[in-house]
Structure formats: structure tokens, C-alpha cells
A and B are shown apart, each in its own frame.
Chain A
């Protein structure tokens, strides 16, 4: 029984008369502690899968299991709880609350979960110990993303989901972020799923799921993931 199981998941969108299947029978599984990368061209359905996995969206058909629980069958309230306690999400565009400081942004997440970690410590862990009281507008893109990651990590979730985390960042900063994610996965044994269209990133992952046109094209398992410093794009 894998940690994450997707079983024939369909997600269709109705656009007038046309039905667009964002996810067209997606089946895969991810083991616990893996660093998984989901890639594919634009419109392949990567974000859709991540959204479903993150409890932000539901599927029309199929089953989704996380740690044995049938997430696809969750009702609204249960989904909130799922998001609250078990998932950490990192967005492409950080989505920090501009009116709150870095520390407060992380506290926003730690407030709602008893098993969360100390906000300050997490921020220190991501290397922002001296930027606690700065507003997002006073932070660089990378720093903002790190705050975002800290926010996600501070919740102490089972699962860390990242949607194009380096999409808005430059090469160096992007690598820094990836390194952070990789280290987190290695050190804490957290299952990390990263969605990206950048194929060059795939070597650092334990598992690579390729999507094409809403379907799983290929699943590759990497026994020897490469360290982030070693990849170039």
C-alpha cells in the first residue's frame, strides 16, 4: 500500500458544449518519504493533479488515497481538516499575505494546528532568522518563497506539495529553493511532490511521473537521486 495512490482519476471541465478532461484516467502511486516530481507540458494536467492531491479540488471519477485514507471521498469539512493538518502547499507565486510580516505569515499557519512547529525556528531553518519582521514587499522573491515553504513546513504536514516553486525565480535562487526542498525531504522523511515543466529538475527526484494530455505517460523510479547542486539548466 503506497503512501499516495491515484487510481483512475478523472477531472473534466465543461466549457459550453466542449468537455475538457484535465485528468483523463490518471493512475500512479508515490511511496512515503519520496521526493516526487510531476512533469509534463502545459495543459498536461499537472496542477490539476496537485490540486486534487492537496484537497483543493475534487475529482469526477477514480480514487485518491493518502496514507490509506480515501481523500477523494472526503466531504467539505473533512477536506478542510485534511488541508489543515496533513498537507503543506507551496505556490508558484508565494501567496503571502502582504500585510503581515514573514513571521506573522508563518504564524498564520502555526495558529491553526496544535502539532505545528515553532514559527521562528522554522524560519531560521530556512535561513530567514534575521528577516522575521520584514513584510513580503521587503523580501526578495527567493526569500518570499522560503517564507512560503516555511509556512508550509511549520504545519508539520504529512505531505508537502509544491506547484512550480521555482517558476518565478531565477536560476540560482531556484536551485536554492530546490535544495531546501530536497534537504527537507531527506532530513525529515517528508513526502515531497513537486510539479514543474522543467525537465532538467527531474534527476533530483526519487520518482518522476510524466503526464501528457491528462494521462500518465511514464513513471520512472530513480534509486539514486542526484543532489541539487549537481544539476544544471
Chain B
């Protein structure tokens, strides 16, 4: 090719860059969709494969119905092909947080698998050691590895749990009718890390033997927690297996022989183990039974004793009141005695006091009187002295007198002086003694004189006188004496007063003493009384306290007893379970077997592969559409280009350039556009699609971030395909032109012949059409290829939009169709989980009656639910987890679950002729009414069932059967562990806040009952689903985005070409004086009609396309709704129309710019 031609190519690229870019754009779009979707499946698989490799997913897992011994492990490791064996101990348990059982969204107890983690291996791995024996490694997403025995790592996904586990929480593990202490040292673990592991690649966790049969999540706990001496699982890594691509048939073929070899040794191993177990357990069981019997008796005794004690306490508590009352009375009476005593004491005292006062008064009176005679005693003494003196005087006087008289008498008798002298002397002596008194000294003198004179007469006279004087003295003395006597008496009287006073005083003192005595007695008495009072009060208080305590104790005595009883019974129960479990093991020894499985048995493993393959199926269809569009768009564009340049073509030909050289220009043009488009498309597509689809799938799978590999193969294929498409368009466009001879080329191309439109033949319609309409009709049909292209482009856009929006509808309608809608499958509102009747002592029928009595419950039935793996003869490879649901009352089931066939509308009544299965299960297992399906029991045996009908269902898989049929099929009666209930209309008609409050209250009230564990509302399932399905928004966005891009590119391109082709025509009408808007509508009337037609056909195409995509994209456990909402149709239409309008607006600008002069100049 010449240099000038080369320049021409590049200049024309720049000059017609819009055209160039539009080809690049459509190629980019097409190839991004093609390569992106094609790359998704291998990317998904590679991601999984790397995950399996990095975290060493085991190739084979062995589970024995009776556990694996050390010896078994050893023997396994010796099988050829086995690179390493990792033995694991695990226990399937129920889980509690904060004392509350964790429940799943269906209302059953959430089951957790506690798996042993070899801490040494884990630590080594953290330090970079890649030990082949360390398999199914946890991938730590958050937190840290356990450092202590009672720490654990928890599953990052707990999709069906109503509780969200977090680091730092403590979980308690409990056994299902077994004593976990037999298996685990600790049953309480603190969550320190969140992990995922390649063993569980999807959010499905598979089945378990306990609870409802569905495994919820797993935790890793340090191996040392397990006290059992056997292993539950052996994981095997096959040497060289990682050399094969995961999921590939080659891999399966490589591992298969090892599986067979392992199965070969299983029989011997199982027998050996069975033997050792039998030897170990049989005697244990025997012993256990006897011990248990003995323990039971002992326990009963102890319990009886305890009951007695309780009785006593209660009795005391009840009768204590009486005792207390009696005591109170006693107290009161003794107190009143004391009081009485005190009172009397008091009154005595008072009396004493009164007496004292009296005596005091007397004393005072006496004193008052006595005080009047202060000297009474002295006076008396004196008086007495006086009296004595007086007496003396008297006596003296008397004596004197008597003497005198005697003397006188003597003298008289004698009459002689001498006598008188003597007598007188005597008398004088006597009188001398009285001198000064009655006898005056003169007298004495006289006397003396007289004596001296011997005057006897005188003497006699004087003596007589003296005698008289003495007599008078005597009388005086007598009188004195009498006076003194009287005085003395008086004094004595006074003395008496004093005496009285004394007496009074004495009496007073006595009284005082008595009083004091009495007072102190009183004080003592009072004190005694107080003390006694206090004492008694204290005693009473004590007694009251004791009584209160006793009462309280009595209250709790019952509880405590109940607790103790429960404890004891639990222990007995545990022992019973241990024995029963051991018995079960012994019973199972004969049919014991190993289950040796490859990776296919891992839950979600096959689904992941299938989902990736689904994408492959998808990628076969979806991108073809874009490819086709790209090809035709480029053909149209290049044709246009060639037409525009036909003169040049002719000229070059005339100049002697070969057709090849000329065609080369267009080829280069097209190729460059394709290359640019490819680069852009691959860059976007290889990232956008895998990531979006991965995000959409990540609701179902827990894998690391998707690996985005540059898939050279698809890139090349895409490049070649699009290159082929575009260049063949270019060549085709050239070919016809180049076939002509130069002169013809250089002449203006004959304008396209006008053709009658078929509509013209319909005379009466044609006549009625307005001029504009006729013009439009002609224009539309003049270029059929473009007509179809635009139609395809627009309807493609609408169809894609509809599919994308429809997917969203289908998904969001799952929960509506299943749970919350008007015509939902699940008509019930709540699942009530019952406690084990052996523990609560209440039968399910009683519980049902109790629940139904509650006004908040409209209606309720008993149900039994059990999850097993199900399949059918026709599709034995399709194994799905299916829940068998048995109603307590067969007729009532249809009030709670819609039993209707979605397609035929037939309503079923459950009977014992057969079972009803849910639609998806039936579809996947290719089952029709009349066929048989089977479920696989835990021991590996299959149980067949006849299908009577297929019911509409959107979430999970169900088999409904009557209890009679269940008993017949499984050989045991169903144990009703649920109550399915409907809420009252009253509650349902409340507004949201009120309703939620009422529901919560109902749940709490019911859970308080012994026979009810917990209430789970269907709301919870709805919420879980809605959350799950948010992830699919990304997928929808892809559709909408692609649709929009498609519409835009196609419409823009075609409109552009349309206008370019009719430049001359448009310029002419501009010259004729058409306004701009008239020129625009001259062109756009066709577009509008095409858009309308395109939208209509788009909807027609979109509906089946949507169904197709749904079928591919559906994940196993849900059935997407099949219908598209009206809103989606409206949106799809509107968005398409909007794009059309935008394109029109852009074209309008172009039309305005058409230069009449330029357009009409060229020769054509």
C-alpha cells in the first residue's frame, strides 16, 4: 500500500472519528460481554482451586458410624496413594449464648459442629510451615487463633441463624440427649476469631444427626478439649492430586482408586473396631445399668429426704406464724405480768411515798411542835435536875424538917436545954444546910445565939420557927417539887413531843428507808421490766426474722428443691443417655460401616462447580446476541463509509490500484477500530463481569475474592470473532463496490428506486393516512436492513432491561410468594419450638391446647420436621436436602401451608396415598405425581415414598406426609416438636410498631412456659432472605448497564447512518424552507415508530429470555418467582424510550448543522 493511501487511512479515521469510535464501542461492548462472561466460570473455578490448594482441602474424607481408632488411622495412612492423614475429632452440638438457645430461621435449634483443631499444626502453619498433613485449614478472616483451651474460632457464615456471632462472645455447647462432658473438657468457649474453610465452600453446611437434621455452622476448638479416645473423621490427602484441576473428571478419576482402596480396608477395620468397642462397652453398659439403678434408688431416697426437709421448712413457715403469735402472747403476757408487778410495786411505792409524806408531815408537825420546845430535853433534864434538886430540897427539907421535928420531938420530950442544944445544933446544922433559903443566916445566928445563951425557949422558938420555916420550905419545896414535877411533866410532855418527834422521825426514817427500799426496788423493777422488754422484744424480733427467713426459705425451698431435683434428674438422665448411647453404639456394631467420600460429598462443593458451569451455559447464549449486533452494526457502518467514498474508490481503481489495496484501507480502518474496542472491552469485561457475578454468588458461597485472570484464550477468540465480524462487514461493503468498473463508481450512484409500500395496496387505509404518515411509512421500509437493525437494537435493549429487572422481581418475590404475600405458600406466622416432653413432663397435645387458648393465637397445629437427603430413581445423582414435614392433624395442614400446584392450580389434600413434594425438588429430580422418590437415612439406607402431588414452594425443599404414612414409612411414630401457629386477626390488623410489640410479648410469654423453648416468626426468615438477595443487585445492574449501552450505541450509530444517507434529501427540504423541527420530525417520526415497535417486541422477547436466565441462575434451595412485575415492564419501556430520546436529541444537533450548500454540491 502506498504511503499516500496510508495517510488517507489515518486521516479518514480522524475525520470520521465518530464512526470509528462507534465501531470500537460496539466491539468493546460485545467483547466485554463475551470475554467477561466466558472468563467468569474459569475464574470462579480457579479461585476455588487456589483456595483448595492454599488451605489444603482434603481429597477424601472417611467417617465411621462407630468412630476411628488410632490403629484405623495408621492403617489408612498405609494405603497406597495416601500422602497424609489428618484425624479429627468432632461433636455436633446445640449452641447457647447468654443462656438462650440459638435458633435457626425455621425455628429449630441451631446445630453447630465443634471440630478439633490441632494447635501445633495451626501454629506451624502460621509460621509458614506447609504441612501436607494439616488439611482443611481455617482461613482467619478476623481476630486471632485460640491461645487457651476455652477459646474457639467460629464460622464466618451463619446464614440460617437468628443470632449473629461476634468475637468476644461466649458460647455454651449442649448435647442432644447426651452428656457433653463425656466428649469435651470444656463446654464454654469464647470466640476469638472468625474463619472460613474450604471444606464448606457454600453457605450450606450439610446434614447432621441431631436436632432438625440441618447443620448450621462450625467452630474450631483446640484438640485437647476432646476427651474421647477415638476420631470422628479422617481426612486424606492423595499424593499428586493437586496436579489435577479441581472439579475436573481427571481429578475424580485420579482419586477414585484411592477411595476404592480405602473402602477395601474398611470392612476389616470396622470389624476390628466393632470388636474392641463391644469388649469395651458391653461390660460398661451392664455395670452402668446396675449402677444407674442403684443411683436412681439412692437419688429417690435423697430426694424424698429433701422433700421432707422442704416440708418441714414449709410447715415451719406456715405454722411459724402461730408459734410466733403464741410467743407474742407469751411475751405480752409476761410483760404484762411484769408490768402488773411493776404497777403494784409502783403503787406500793406510791403508798410508801404517801406514807412517807404523811410521816413527813407528821414529823414536820411534830417537829413544828417540838421545835417550839427546842430545849425540851434540856428543860426536862433541868426540870428533872430541878426536880431532883427539888426532890433533894424536898428531901432535904423533909429531912431537915423531919430531923428537926425529930429533934424537936426529941427535945420536946426531953425538954432540956441540953437536948435542945444538941438538937439545936443538929438542927442548926441541918438548918445551916438550908441557910440562905428558908433559914436565914440571921436565924442561924439567932439560933446560935440562942444556943449560946442556952435559951432553950428561944431555941425552941427559933426551932419552931425554923420548923415552920422548914415546913413552909418543905411546902415550898413540895410545892416547888410539885411545880417541878409539873414542870417535869410538862417537860416530859414536851419531851414527849420530842419523843413523838423522835418517833415521828424514826417512823419517817423508817418510812424513808422503806421508801428508798421501795424506790430502788421500783427502779430495779423498772429496769428489770425494760430489760425484760428489750429481751423479749429482741427475742420476738429474732423470732420474726427467723420466721421471715423460714418463709423465704420456704418459698425458695420449692425452687431449690426443683433445681436440685432437676440437677439430680439431669445427672440421672445423662447417665441414662450415656448408657443408651452406648447401647445404641453396641446395637449399631453389626451394621457399622465407613463412609469414604471424595470432595463431591462436601456440602456446596458440587453446587459451586455447577454454578460456575451455569455461567458457561450463560456465556454461550448471552454474548452471541452482542456479537451479532456488533457484526451488523459494523457492516452497516462500513457500507455507509464505502458508499460515501465510492467516487474515490472508482478513482483509485481508475488509477490502477488493485481491489486489494483499496479494500485494505477499509480493512485497516475496521481492524484498528476493532483492536481499540477489544482492548477497552477486555479491560472492562475481564474485571466487571467476573466480579459482579462473583458478588452475586457470594451470598451463597464463602470463598476468597475472585481471581481475575487474563484469559488469553477467550481474549483471542473474542478478538478473532469480532475481527472477523467487522472485517467481513468491511469487505462485504467493499466487495460490491469494487466489483463495479471505475467509471460506474465515479458516476453518482443511481438513487435507490422508490418502492410501493404494501400498505399502499390497502387503498382505504392509504387514502386516510396523512402525508406525513405516508412519508414515514415509505421511509421506514425503504431500507429494510436498517429497519431490522434498529428494531433488533431497541428490542434487544428492552429485552435485556426486562430480564435484568425481572431477575430482581423474581428474587424479591421469593419471600413474598413464600411468606408474606397475600397468597403466600406459608400461611402461618410463627413456629413454636417445643421442649423435650421428657424434660418438661408435658405432652405436645397439652401444649397445643395451651397455645390455642391464648387469644393472640388464631389457630395452631403440631408438626414434626426432619431433614434428610432426598433423590429420585430418575436422577440419582441429584441429591438435595429435603425437610419432611408431618402435621399433627392432617386436615388442618392446608390452613397453614398452601398445598397447590403452581402450574395447574390443582389444590391437594394431604392423605396417606402418597407424599406431596415441593416444586423445585420435583423439577430437579424429574419427579411427577405417581413417581417414587427416596430419602437416605443416617445409616445409609434409602426409604422410598410415592409422590401424590407437586406443590408450589419457593424456599427450601419439603416433603409433606401424614403421620400414618410416616409411621408406615419410617417404622416409628413422629415426635411432634413444633407447633405451627397463625396469629390472631387482631394482631395482624395492628400497625407495625404495635404489632411487633405484641408479637414480642407473645413470644416472651410463650417461652416462659416449661414446655415451650422459643418462638420464631416467619418475619425472621423473610429478613434473612431479603438480606441474602441484596447481593444480586450487582447482576441486575450488569443487565441494565449492558442494555443501555447496547441501545445507545445501536441507535446512535444507525441514526447517524440514516441521516448521512439522506443528507441530500434533508438539505433539499431545508432549502424548501422546512423549519428545523420539521426537518427533525421528518426523520424522527420513523425513529419513534421503530422505538415503539422495538419496545413491544422487546417485551415479547424479554419474557422468555427472563425465564431462561432464571432457570440457569437459580440456586438450589430457592425457586425464583417466574413473573415480571408491571413496574419492571414500565421501567424497561421508559428507559428504552429515554435512550431513544437522548439519541434523537443528539441527532437533532446534527440535523441543524447540515449545510444546504455543501450537501447539494456533490454529485450523486
Contacts and interface: CB of A to CB of B under 8 A. Distances in A.
B771 A57 contact: no
B315 interface: no
Contacts of A109: 1072
Interface in B1068-1123: 1068-1076, 1078
B779 interface: yes
B775 interface: yes
Contact of A137 (B754, B1064, B1157): B754
A164 B294 CA distance: 129
Contacts of B1069: 97, 108
Contacts of A87: 1073
Contact of B1157 (A56, A135, A138, A155): A56
Contact of B754 (A80, A83, A100): A100
B1156 interface: yes
A111 B1068 CA distance: 15
Interface string B908-945: 00000000000000000000000000000000000000
Contacts of A108: 771, 775, 1069, 1072
B1078 to A, nearest CB: 7
B453 interface: no
Contact of B1160 (A81, A91, A111): A91
Nearest to A163: B1160
B1163 interface: yes
Nearest to B1159: A95
A36 B748 CA distance: 30
A84 B753 contact: no
Contacts of B735: none
A135 B754 contact: yes
A35 interface: no
B754 A111 contact: no
B774 interface: yes
A89 B1068 CA distance: 9
A104 B1073 contact: no
B1072 A112 contact: yes
B751 A83 contact: no
B775 A112 contact: no
A101 B757 CA distance: 12
Nearest to A134: B754
B771 A104 contact: yes
B1071 A100 contact: no
B1078 A56 contact: no
Contacts of A77: 1075
Contacts of A135: 753-755
Contacts of B753: 98, 135, 137
A56 B1156 contact: yes
Nearest to A152: B1072
Interface string A65-83: 0000000000001001111
Nearest to A161: B1071
Nearest to B1161: A47
Interface residues of B, number: 31
A54 interface: yes
Interface string A86-121: 010101010101111100100111011100000000
A104 B1070 CA distance: 17
Q: Interface centre among B752, B1067, B1073, B1075, by most A CB within 10 Å?
A: B1073
A51 B1157 contact: yes
A91 B1071 CA distance: 10
Nearest to A113: B1073
Given A57-B1157, A99-B754, A100-B754, A112 B1074 contact: yes
B1164 interface: yes
B999 interface: no
B1157 A81 contact: no
A85 interface: yes
B768 to A, nearest CB: 16
A98 B752 contact: yes
A136 interface: yes
A97 B1068 contact: yes
A137 B751 contact: yes
A84 B1157 contact: no
B1071 A54 contact: yes
Nearest to B1163: A93
Contacts of A138: 754
B364 interface: no
B1019 interface: no
A56 B778 contact: no
* Interface class of chain B by DSSP: helix
A100 B775 contact: yes
Nearest to B772: A111
Q: Interface centre among B753, B1076, B1078, B1160, by most A CB within 10 Å?
A: B1160
A95 B1068 contact: yes
Contacts of B750: 137
Given A100-B778, A135-B753, A135-B754, A95 B1160 contact: yes
Q: Interface centre among B755, B774, B782, B1071, by most A CB within 10 Å?
A: B1071
B974 to A, nearest CB: 79
A83 B753 CA distance: 28
Nearest to A76: B1076
B8 interface: no
Given A95-B1160, A97-B1065, A97-B1068, A112 B752 contact: no
A102 B1164 CA distance: 19
Contacts of A84: 1072-1075
Contacts of B1070: 80, 83
Contacts of B1156: 51, 56-57
A97 B1156 CA distance: 15
Nearest to B1156: A56
A81 B1073 contact: yes
Given A112-B1073, A112-B1074, A98 B1157 contact: no
Interface string B1047-1076: 000000000000000001101111111111
B1072 A83 contact: yes
A56 B755 CA distance: 31
Contacts of A101: 754
A123 B774 CA distance: 20
A99 B771 contact: no
B554 to A, nearest CB: 105
A110 to B, nearest CB: 9
B1157 A112 contact: no
B1078 A112 contact: yes
B248 to A, nearest CB: 60
Q: Interface centre among B1074, B1078, B1164, by most A CB within 10 Å?
A: B1074
A83 B1074 CA distance: 9
Contacts of B1164: 93
Contacts of B748: 93
A45 to B, nearest CB: 13
A81 to B, nearest CB: 7
Contact of A85 (B1065, B1073, B1157): B1073
A104 B775 contact: yes
B708 to A, nearest CB: 50
A83 B779 contact: no
A121 to B, nearest CB: 17
A44 B730 CA distance: 41
Interface of B: 748, 750-755, 771, 774-775, 778-779, 782, 1064-1065, 1067-1076, 1078, 1156-1157, 1160, 1163-1164
Closest CB pairs A-B (n = 3): A84-B1073, A135-B754, A83-B1073
14 contacts: A57-B1156, A80-B1073, A89-B1072, A91-B1160, A95-B1067, A98-B1065, A99-B754, A99-B778, A104-B774, A112-B1074, A135-B755, A137-B752, A138-B754, A155-B1072
Interface of A: 51, 54, 56-57, 77, 80-85, 87, 89, 91, 93, 95, 97-101, 104, 107-109, 111-113, 135-138, 151, 155
Given A97-B1068, A98-B1065, A135-B754, 17 more contacts: A56-B1071, A80-B1075, A83-B1072, A84-B1073, A85-B1073, A89-B1072, A91-B1160, A95-B1071, A98-B753, A99-B754, A99-B755, A99-B782, A101-B754, A104-B771, A109-B1072, A136-B754, A138-B754
